[in-house]
Amino acid sequence: MFSFKQFTAMLSEAELRNGAGERHTKKYITPYIGYKETHVLNSDHEGLGEGSRVSVHGTSVEGSGKNKQYYAIASSAGSRKRYKIPFGKIEKPTLKYNDEHAHVKIWNHMVNSGIANDKEAMSLELERAKKDKNHPLNFNRAEEKGFIGMKGKKTKLHEPSYYEQLSNAIDTVHALANHPHFRKAVQEKHAATVTGSSKKGQVSELWRSHNSTEGTSKTDIAIINPKSKAKGIRISLKGGSNSQLMSAGPEENAAVHDYATRQMLNQSPRYSGLSDAEKKRVHSEIMGHVEKANEVANTARNAPKSSMDRLKLEAQEHMNKIEKEHPALNPFLRREAATGEGKFGKDSPHTAAYIVKSSHGNRAPIVQPVDKINFQGPKIRAAKSKDPEKARTLNFKLDETK
C-alpha cells in the first residue's frame, strides 16, 4: 500500500496501475464526501490558492491505462462553484484525537483505577477497553470533545487516532504518576481537566499596553484536588517535533519582547549591573527592532502573494539583529512563550508551572517544573500565514525543538 504522498505523486504523473487509484479513492476521498472543508490544496488551482480548504462532493475519472487521471469535484468555503481538482493537488485530511483530551482521559481513568504507576497494567486496561463497548475508554463511549477534523464531529474515521493517542498518553501519565511532585495527586486521586484553548485569561497591563488582548491559557491540563480551592498543578503539554511555544501576531510579539527584555535586564549577569540609563537604552534598541519587524508584518496584510517571501525575509532581518546583538534574550523569550508568566502573572491558573514533553516516537516523556528548565533553543522566526486566502499579517514563531 502506498503512502498518501507517494500516491499523490503517482497520480500527478498519471502512472496508476493495478487498481491503486480506486483503492485510494475509497480510502482518502469517498469517506469525506458531504463533510465540510475536509481537504487542503497543496498548490494553486484555478484561482484557489495553496492552503485553501475545500469540501469534496464527488469524483471523476478521465482517460485509461497509463493516462488515467483522478479528480475530486470540490468547492471552497462560501462558494457554489465546483472545481475539478487532480488528486495530486489535495492533501490527506487531518483527522485526529486531541492529545490533551487523551492525557486527561488516561490520567483520570488510570488514577481512579489505582494503576497509574504501572505501565503494563495501563496498557492491558486499554486493550480491554478496545474490546468492551461499555468500557469508559472505548471509542463508542467517547464524547464529541477532542476530535479534530470534520468540523469537530466525531466519526468512525477518528477511531484509529483515538486509540493511538490514548496509547501514547500512557507513557506520559506513567511518568507523571512516578514524579515526586505528582505523587500526592495520584494518592488522593486528583482529577485532570483540559484547559488550553477553551479557557481565556485576563492579560496583564503590559500586554494591554501593546493592544495584545488574546488570552488563550498556557496551561493545557490542570490536575486539581476537587476538595481544595487551590489552582492545582498547571501543565503545558508539548507533543512531537513540530510543536511550538509561540505563534504570535505583531501585538503579541511586541508584548513578549517587552517583558522578556525587562527580565533579561534584571536577571542576566551581563545586563543586571548596568545603570538605569543604559538599561533604558538597551530596552529601546530592542523594541525599535521589534517595531520595525512588526511594521513589515502588518504590511503583509494587504500585500500581493508574490511579495510574501520578501516581506518574511525583511521581518526576519530585524529579528536576527536582536539575536546577534543580544543573544542572552533568547531564553527569556522562550520562557515567557512557554509559561505566560508576564502575560497572566505567575499565580494565574493560566500560567504553566510544569512543561511536560509527551512521549513521541522513540522519545521518552519529560516532566519538568519551569524553574528547572534550561530555556535555550531555536530562535524566533518570521512566518507567513497558513491561510493565504485571507488577509493576514506575518507572525512570529518559537519552535519547541529544532
Residues 34-46 have pLDDT tens digits of 777 778 888 888 8
Q: What is the mean pLDDT of the chain?
A: 88
| Predicted confidence (pLDDT) per residue in 9-25, tens digit | 444 444 444 466 787 68
Residue 402's pLDDT is what?
A: 57
Cell of 172: 506520559
Q: Which of 71-75, 138-142, 226-230 has the lowest mean pLDDT?
A: 226-230
| Predicted confidence (pLDDT) per residue in 343-366, tens digit | 999 989 999 999 999 876 677 899
Residue 102's pLDDT is what?
A: 97
User: What is the DSSP annotation of 123-184?
Assistant: HHHHHHHHH-TTSTTSGGG--STTEESGGG---GGGHHHHHHHHHHHHHHHHHHHTSGGGHH
Residue 387's pLDDT is what?
A: 59
Cell of 52: 485553501
| Predicted confidence (pLDDT) per residue in 81-93, tens digit | 899 998 888 877 7
**One-letter-per-residue 3-state SS of 291-358:** HHHHHHHHHHHHCCHHHHHHHHHHHHHHHHHHHHHCHHHHHHHHHHHHHCHHHHCCCCCCCCCEEEEC
Nearest to 100 by CA among 287, 274, 290, 356: 356
| Predicted confidence (pLDDT) per residue in 94-130, tens digit | 788 999 999 999 999 999 999 999 999 999 999 999 9
| Residue/partner pairs of 82-86 with CB below 8 Å, 24 or more apart | 82/57, 83/45, 83/46, 83/48, 83/54, 84/60, 85/41, 85/45, 85/54, 86/11, 86/12, 86/45
Annotated domain spans of the chain: 4-89, 94-189, 238-399
Cell of 82: 465546483
Helices and strands in the chain, H and E counts: 13, 14
Strand (E) or helix (H) holding 96: strand 96-97
82 in helix, strand or coil?
Answer: coil
Distance from C-alpha of 4 to C-alpha of 126, rounded to nearest angstrom? 29
If one compares 402 and 43, the residue with the highest pLDDT of the two is 43
Distance from C-alpha of 7 to C-alpha of 25, rounded to nearest angstrom? 10
> What length does the chain have?
402
- Mean pLDDT, to the nearest integer, of 269-283? 97
| Strands ordered across the beta sheet of 244-248 | 244-248, 395-399, 381-383
**Is the pLDDT assigned to residue 389 strictly greater than 60?**
no
Q: Which of 78-82, 97-101, 168-172, 254-258 has the lowest mean pLDDT?
A: 78-82
Category of 51 on φ-ψ map: left (φ > 0), alpha (ψ -120 to 50) or beta = left
Residue 14's pLDDT is what?
A: 40
Instruction: Please give the span between the terminal C-alpha atoms of the chain, in angstroms, as a whole number.
Output: 31
Strand (E) or helix (H) holding 222: strand 221-224
Cell of 339: 509559561
Distance from C-alpha of 295 to C-alpha of 287, rounded to nearest angstrom? 12
Residue 12's pLDDT is what?
A: 44
* β-strand partners of 356: 237, 367
Residue 3's pLDDT is what?
A: 45
Residue 54's pLDDT is what?
A: 87
**Is the pLDDT assigned to residue 375 strictly greater than 50?**
yes
Distance from C-alpha of 61 to C-alpha of 11, rounded to nearest angstrom? 11
- DSSP class of 19: T
* pLDDT confidence bin for 390, thresholds 50/70/90: low
Percent of the chain with pLDDT over 70: 90
Residue 290's pLDDT is what?
A: 98
